Amino acid sequence: MHIVLLGLPGAGKGTQAKMIEQEFDLPQISTGDIIRLALKEQTEWGKKAEDFVKAGKLVPDEVVIGLIEERLSADRHPKGFMLDGFPRTLVQAEALDRFLLSLGIRLDMVLYFDVDREEVVKRLSSRRICERCQTPYNVMSKLPKKDDICDLCGGRVIQRSDDRPEVVLQRLETYDHQTKPLIDYYSLKNIVKVIPSRGDIQDVYREVQAVLRLLEK
Ligand code: AMP
């Protein structure tokens, strides 16, 4: 199964991805996570990406496309994979189509997590993340058991610098201009499934589960 998760920042892609990963044994490949780790480790291209991420803008297409192709070529994914946060522009979507074609892989489905803008602004201001393993937390709904320590890996739980309100507004604008057109791009291919992403995380997951179980058959 090869799927893409699409939606506004804060729509719940990362949270749902972790749950999908566990049940369907489908690795989550998140460009945001990969970029944040490169920033933390200050690798060569992590440094190149830093200004874009901090400003709430997209890292240039050629950098992200190179990164994802490298990642997809490096590991074998016998059960498929789930792309979270990629593609985010039409150029990236077209590059992904070409790359998958060269591997003889068909993209099965795009899960589009549909949520109100006011809701994501609220969610992003209370979101926290483990700086080591990137597990998402939330001060309103999902705190770690020990203060600021990740339940899974013991890493430090922090607020992402790009979840500050001024950067969030820029990220939403970036989404409108560059990522939203992908809904039409994939709708024309008839592979978009809309998942209403309001309310309880488990309820949203039940919708996801139903869709993926059908796809598995
Ligand atoms: P995310 O964790 O998916 O919200 O991504 C965090 C940041 O990483 C974004 O705001 C971008 O600066 C950068 N980023 C992640 N994925 C991409 C992508 N596909 N194309 C360009 N920049 C990206």
**Quick check: 35 pLDDT over 90?**
yes
Domain at 2-116+171-216: CATH code = 3.40.50.300
Instruction: Give the pLDDT of residue 45.
Output: 81
**How do residues 125-139 score in pLDDT, each as one tens digit?**
999 999 999 898 999
Q: Could you identify the atom of ligand 1 that is nearest to the CA of residue 85?
A: 3
Q: List Cα–Cα distances, 210 to 24, 80, 203, 204, in angstroms.
A: 12, 18, 11, 10
Give the distance, in angstroms, between the CA of residue 32 and the centroid of all CA atoms in the same chain. Answer: 7
Q: Which residues have C-beta atoms less than 6 Å from ligand 1?
A: 9, 31-32, 35, 52-53, 56-59, 64, 85-86, 88, 92, 162, 171
Domain ranges, ordered by start, for the chain: 2-116+171-216
**Quick check: 46 pLDDT over 90?**
no
**How do residues 9-20 score in pLDDT, each as one tens digit?**
999 999 999 999
Distance 58 CA to ligand 1 centre (A): 6
**Quick check: 75 pLDDT over 90?**
no
Rounded to the nearest integer, the mean pLDDT of the chain is 94
**Quick check: 78 pLDDT over 90?**
no
**Would residue 13 show up in a list of annotated catalytic residues for this protein?**
yes
Distance 9 CA to ligand 1 centre (A): 9
Vertex 111: Cα angle to 4 and 56 (nearest 5): 65
Q: What are phi and psi of 157, to 5 degrees?
A: -95, 120
**How do residues 131-177 score in pLDDT, each as one tens digit?**
999 898 999 888 999 999 999 999 999 999 899 988 999 999 999 99
55: which 2 tokens? 């400003």
